[in-house]
Each structure stands twice: as C-alpha cells, then as structure tokens.
Amino acid sequence: MKKHNFYAGPSILPEFTVEETAKAVKDFAGTGISVMSISHRSKEFVAVMDEAQQLFKELLHIPEGYSVLFLGGGASTQFAMIPYNLLNKKAAYLNTGAWAKKAIKEATLFGEMEITASSEDKNFSYIPKGYSIPDDVDYFHITTNNTIYGTEIKEDFDSPVPLVADMSSDIFSRPVDVSKYALIYGGAQKNLAPAGVTFVIIKNDILGKVDRKIPTMLNYQTHIDKGSMFNTPPVLPVFSALQTLKWLKDMGGVEEMHKINQKKAEMLYNEIERNSLFRCTVENTDDRSLMNVCFVMDEDHKDKEKAFLDFATEKGMVGIKGHRSVGGFRASLYNALPLDSVEALISCMQEFEKK
C-alpha cells in the first residue's frame, strides 16, 4: 500500500533526492566509489559543495555580502552559536514555542535577555502582534515556523536591529527577502536533506562585534573563511541537499513551490473547518502554518481520537500523531509531499465522518 508521509522531521524528501542519493552511495559522479568514502577535498565533492552554495543563493535570491554555510550540530547548536558570535550585551527574542524557548535558554548564558512578546499564555497557538522591537539590543530572534504548534510568521518584516531567524521548518517553502535578515539558520531534516547538516545564511559584516573569545569551530568566521570546508562537512547530507535544490529549481523555484504549498494547506484547512469532527488548534487563519497543520478532535468527539488515528494508519497515513504538547494530529505538508497525499488524508477524514 502507498504510504503518505506526514512526519514533522526527519520528513519526506523528493523521490529524486532519494534516488540520486541511493545511486551516489554506490557510485558517486562516475568515480566508482561511494560518496560516503571519497575525500571531502576531492574535486568531485568540492564541486558538490560549490554548487549547493551557489543554488542556495540563486533560489533564495541571496544578495551580495552573505555566505551560505553547511555545518554540523543541528539547529540546536545554532541556539548557542548565535549568541556566542553576536550577543555582546543584550538580545531580544520572540517566544513562539518550544524551539524559541530552547534558543532563549542558550542565549541567557551569554548576556541579558528581553522577551519582546510571547504566546505562551495560550499554548503558543498564535503569533504575537503589536509589539515593538527594541533598538538597544544586539539582535532580535524569531522562529518563523513553529513546527510543534503549527503557527507561522509568513512575512519578512523590517527590524531596527539585526534580525535572526530559525527557519528550520519553512526554508524554501516561500520566497524570502533575505536582505531583511542578518542570519537565517535551520536543521536541514525538515525540507531539504537527511538529518546531519545545518544551513546558515549569514551577512558577513555582522561579525567581529563581540568582546569574548570564540572557540574556532563555533566561530562563524572560521567557516566563512574556508567556504564551509574548515573541517569535514556532513558529506552525504550536503550531497542530498544539492539534489533537493536541483529538484526545487526544476519545479520552478520557491515562487512556484509557494503556490503549491498554499494550495495544499488551504485544502486541508478547509476540510478541518468543514468537518464537524475536527477543529484547528490555531484560530487566527493568518497565523496558520503552511508546513505543519495542527488539529484536534472537537470537544464532543474527543473519545474518537485514537479510532481516527488507527483508521488513518490503516489507510496508509504515516506520522500524523500530534506532538505531545498539543495532542491530536499534525500533518506536515513539506515541499516534497505530493498533493495526492493531502487528498488521501482528506478522504480519510470524510470517510471517518460518514462512519
């Protein structure tokens, strides 16, 4: 039976990425050896790294003066690396969920913290509005897509201080005006590549402003200077990331992908609204994520949650159980998830309603 993969991360990747990676694991670029076994200094792999960085810049229209890095350690290491490199005295953070909180926790190790606004009062089910970004801080940090709660900041806004964004789960899902950001980062395992590589888009001139000494590997400058090849990069995930970027370009880039993503999300949100069994946990439609759709069974039908999960699993739905801090269901609609998977989930919801 066909499986429909709604996992939040690691998550579905394009068939093309999986196929090309499988081939390269056996024979990489006609070398007769595996991509796992070739020197990262070989001309074949250097070409992969260069092309991946170049396509990143092309697809996101990254302006001059920025570098693209592929590092290890996950987005979680960035939670510390960012303040290490950028926080001299004080930073401001928007608290929109569990990942934001983890980022805040790390930053407090390095300086003063101002929580500019928070949605914790309603279990992070909305995006705070009407706050003003302080102008006496070293940077302002946001999480554009809150993977666990299904909320998303969908617009790039102006900030009086350098803007730093965790885009782990919505990178490449929509066009981004990179010039509004000083730094964008994320784990690749949501929308780009297998786990093991972390992307960082960094404006070169924001560095060198903190007084502390920074360990070599945690210093962005080290990686910028060496084109992300200071030490051994995560070779296989970088190779896979390149395949996803090629696929994305073929699909018409982030502009086209955004249209498809809007359509997929709209279809599912519409069904949640229409179907009396279900209720979306994010009330404000503007705040609803295009990538992670969170919903629960309506109050009167709470007892049927397990039954629906079993029913959907039988029909080939995978990974739709909600995160424990929200409950219910979460369908992740990343770029690689085909429209027919969304249709299959909707059919499940309709059939279950009839039963």
- Active-site positions read 99, 166, 190
- DSSP-assigned beta bridge partners for residue 166: 143, 185
Rounded CA-CA distance 74/55 in Å is: 21
**Nearer Cβ to ligand PLP (169/243):** 169
Residue 166 binds to ligand PLP (criterion: CB under 6 A): yes
Sole window of 73-81, 217-225, 268-276, 320-328 interacting with ligand PLP (rule: CB under 6 A)? 73-81
Binding mask 141-160 for ligand PLP (x = CB under 6 A): --x---x-------------
Which residues fall within 8 angstroms of residue 256, CB to CB, at 6 or more apart? none
Name the minimum Å distance from CB 30 to ligand PLP. Answer: 32
Name the minimum Å distance from CB 355 to ligand PLP. Answer: 34
**Nearer Cβ to ligand PLP (153/260):** 153
| 246-255, Cβ contacts within 8 angstroms, sequence gap of 24 or more | 246/16, 246/55, 247/14, 247/16, 247/17, 248/59, 248/172, 248/335, 249/55, 249/58, 249/59, 253/59, 254/59, 254/60, 254/172, 254/173, 254/174, 254/175, 254/176, 255/175
Within 213-252, which residues bind ligand PLP (CB under 6 A)?
none
Name the minimum Å distance from CB 55 to ligand PLP. Answer: 21
Q: Are 5 and 318 in contact (CB under 8 A)?
A: yes
Within 7-26, which residues bind ligand PLP (CB under 6 A)?
9
Q: Are 253 and 267 in contact (CB under 8 A)?
A: no
Sole window of 25-33, 164-172, 244-252, 311-319 interacting with ligand PLP (rule: CB under 6 A)? 164-172
State which of residues 169, 191, 261, 281 lies at the interface with ligand PLP (CB under 6 A). 169
Residue 162 binds to ligand PLP (criterion: CB under 6 A): no
Tell me which DSSP letter residue 146 carries: E
- In order of 80, 136, 182, 329, the CA distances from 66 in angstroms are 21, 24, 9, 38
Residue 185 binds to ligand PLP (criterion: CB under 6 A): no
Name the minimum Å distance from CB 288 to ligand PLP. Answer: 16
Residue 287 binds to ligand PLP (criterion: CB under 6 A): no
**Nearer Cβ to ligand PLP (187/194):** 187
Within 77-106, which residues bind ligand PLP (CB under 6 A)?
99
The residue ranges of DSSP E strands in 51-105, in sequence order, are: 66-71, 90-95
Q: What angle do CA 80, 82, 87 make, to 5 degrees?
A: 100
- DSSP-assigned beta bridge partners for residue 278: 297
Residue 139 binds to ligand PLP (criterion: CB under 6 A): no
How far is C-alpha 343 from the geometric centre of its chain's CA atoms?
Answer: 23
Sole window of 21-29, 166-174, 218-226, 332-340 interacting with ligand PLP (rule: CB under 6 A)? 166-174
Name the minimum Å distance from CB 220 to ligand PLP. Answer: 17
State which of residues 42, 76, 219, 262 lies at the interface with ligand PLP (CB under 6 A). 76
In the complex, the residues that contact ligand PLP under the rule CB under 6 A are: 9, 74-76, 99, 143, 147, 166, 168-169, 187, 190
